[in-house]
Amino acid sequence: MADNQLLVEGCFELVKEHPLDQHSSPNFLMSSFAISSLALSVGWYSSQKTYLLLSLHKLDADKITTTLKDRKLFSTHNTIFTCFNLETLMGHLLNLLHGTVFFDKLCFSDCPKLFKPKTCSYTGKFAKFQKYNGAPLALQGSGELANHVASSLNHKIYISNGEELNGIPHIRTLKEFPREELFEKVVMVRFDSNILLKRECDEKTQSVFNAVFTIKYLHEAGAKIILVSDWNMNTPELRIGSVSDFLSALLQIQVVPLQAISCNKLPKMNDLKKENIHLLENLSNVKEEAANCLEFARVLSSGVDIFVNDSFSNSHKVLASTVGITRFCYACLAGFHFEERLCLLKNLSEVGKKPYVGIIGGGNLYDKTASFQFLTYRCQALVFVGMMSFQVMHALGVSVPRNLLDQKALNEALDIVRLAQDRNVQILYPKDFWCRSKCNPKQLQVFPSHGILDGWVPVDLGPVSLNEVSSMLTNCKKIVWIGAVKFVDASKYTNGASKLAKILDQLSQSNCEITVVGTTACKLVRYEKTSSFINMVENASVVWEFLKGRKLPGVMAVDRGYPFEINWNSIYSDPVQSLVVDIGSGNGLFLLEMARRRQDLNFLGLEINKKLVLRCLDSAHQFGVKNGYFVATNATSTFRSIVSTYPGELVLVSIQCPNPDFNKPEHRWRMLQRSLIEAVVDLLAYNGKVFLQSDVEAVAIRMKEEFLKYGKGKLYLEHSQCNGQSEWLEENPFGVRSDWEKHVLDRRAPMYRMMFTKSSNIREV
């Protein structure tokens, strides 16, 4: 706790060359209220530098901001102000620094850039999405501060309280999964019926193309495909037989319906023919689906090897076919449509293009307050074009008829306005409205926003409002429109939304990045647009949940991927030396001693506990270990993506004393899963070794059985270990014991060890 307090109360100025050189850029000031006040008094604060101010209390943050404004030092361009609780603060700083902080010396040194966030790009028929440089999930470094702290700050996502928006992890996608591993596998695809079962299903649209491509890609790879989804039963033509016919025509592949699917019965997967695609019955009829019944999910997944989620519109829901099923499949991936939609969602948080304007329609401001706070931190202007505009107008002091206000959202509207003013975010509200007479519904008249007469109700944006919106958007580089242009009543004579769609269509042709969210808005833009440069997300609920900072269950259930591209040249002095990987490296004593003894090998520890990784990196730095490194990650899902990029050979993988409960579904992230075993076997060099040991015999037996079962016939147990008496190795073959191994042997308990070798003479089965 002492280190934490020191970090919170300390004041660090991080400069590349000269700490107090006024011309150095960028600089960062991290402080509590007391230290920030001291910094102001001694003249450390300069408008020519970039600062990050951290405070544990919002009141302190407000005081410092006020002081800076009074001294004309505050600028949204050079100051990032956030409030943290202690736990969140520590997590952010550890992720931010990418290295070991020497608290006692209060100093940092430059080191080469080791890790680069992977791009969030989807290269398909229509578009390539901008990369998303998300917040790091793990600590990397060699005991020094990476010199890319400045760029890391720009990629953080902050909401109202300054906390990082971590609702979207880096996930495993079908595109990244080895294509050869799909052959003969039973793959269940949760497809999006809102995309593939629409009457006007246009294959030229981005969403339909990607959704179809997911299924065709799997089919061409030789997978046995089972399709599953839910659809509206009120439409007579959407019975399972007609749906299978419709999909057959769309895919140009025979889709065979599977009847009578229940919680207790599924067809035998061995009977499935890979020449055909199979369709399960409509899940709308199954109550266990919406309840995320684990028993139903287990039955649904029986015989299924790989699950592919391509139903992005349901990612905000907890369903058995999107969340529960992932507990029982050895690989859970995002399909091409899901991946592309997720990239669009992440892109909403990118602030590289400015001015960035949010156009907000619809109503119910009370439930969406957090979303607007998020947008306020990202956008330079907010344009209100729906019922929520009346709440904002009232908060700004504009006279608004009482019947147009949501009384429970008055305080929330005030908070949004204050936050926007504090951040110099412009708010634009309608200056006039088309209104309909209550007495004569056909009579329409334009009224100024502050002068709507009794007996009239607003139905559309007025001409002045549309002209003002058009003028503001002219120079924008990025726009998001979410929510319909909808007021108290609608009229067939109103066309404000259509005019707004035309404005956006014109802007999309002038290098302005536009994203439209919501069924109504997308329909209007699709009708008006003449270019293909507008991104559209029809399901607004998913986007609202994301903007609120909430985690999306459907996204969180998919396997994790590693979010960085590792620069091996910066980690090892000789990156082509053979590699040894210790999965679950713990406190790193085994790996560090091995690295000290074997300078001819490189050693990599993969450990899910970030604090342990930080200590290991610190130890490696202190002892001058140049051929040992540690990464904080869940190796179960990231082993392949990390190790496959290493330029040298993988000659040894060790797994020592895993959690004894690894085979229980509730401990899914700690399991020794099939996907990890297959990745190890695929990447291991011929004659390479796999060393397994545990102090629990049942765990050791289970590990041995799993490696033999999923080793593709390429692994064999070394006969020399048996000695005709025991099936276990009597001694540690490396002469180096892990910390836990020493503890077990000191209490005279047995260790159960085994060594596998990968042979090139055994044919894959």
Residue 732: DSSP 8-state: -
Report d(CA 337, CA 208) in Å as an integer.
8
Least confident range from 137-141, 447-451, 690-694: namely 137-141
Average pLDDT estimate for 230-244 = 72
Of the listed ranges 4-8, 197-201, 215-219, the least confidently predicted one is 4-8
Q: Which domains does the chain have, with CATH numbers?
A: 2-113+135-154 (no CATH), 179-344 (3.40.50.1260), 351-532 (3.40.50.1260), 569-758 (3.40.50.150)
Report the DSSP beta bridge partners of residue 692.
Answer: 655, 754
Average pLDDT, the chain: 78
pLDDT band for position 285 (50/70/90)? confident
Mean pLDDT of 723-737: 81
Three-class DSSP category at 150: helix
Q: Which of 35-49, 190-204, 222-236, 609-623 has the highest mean pLDDT?
A: 609-623
Tens digits of per-residue pLDDT, 308-344? 999 999 999 999 999 999 989 989 999 999 999 999 9
Stretch 681-703: mean pLDDT, rounded?
A: 93
Can you point out the beta strands (E) in 174-235?
Answer: 186-191, 224-228
Among residues 348, 357, 353, 294, the alpha carbon closest in space to that of 321 is found at 294
Q: Which of 667, 676, 673, 671 is nearest to 658 (CA)?
A: 671
- Of 43-57, 93-107, 255-269, 390-404, highest mean pLDDT: 390-404
The Cβ-side half-sphere exposure at 389, using a 13 Å CA radius, reads 30
Collapsing DSSP to helix, strand or coil, 365 comes out as coil
Q: How far apart are CA 34 and CA 137, in angstroms?
A: 31
Instruction: Determine contact, residues 256/276, Cβ cutoff 8 Å.
Output: yes
Buried b (16+ CB within 10 A) or exposed e, 299-317: bbbebbbbbbbbbbbbbbb
For 98, other C-beta atoms within 10 Å of its C-beta total: 25
* CA atoms of 735 and 593, how far apart (whole Å): 10
Query: What does the pLDDT read at residue 286?
Result: 87
pLDDT of residue 765: 42
Extract the runs of DSSP E, i.e. beta strands, from 397-539.
426-428, 432-437, 444-448, 456-461, 478-482, 513-517, 534-537
Give yes or no for a contact between 604 and 592, defined as CB atoms under 8 angstroms apart.
no
Residue with tokens 């660090």: 12
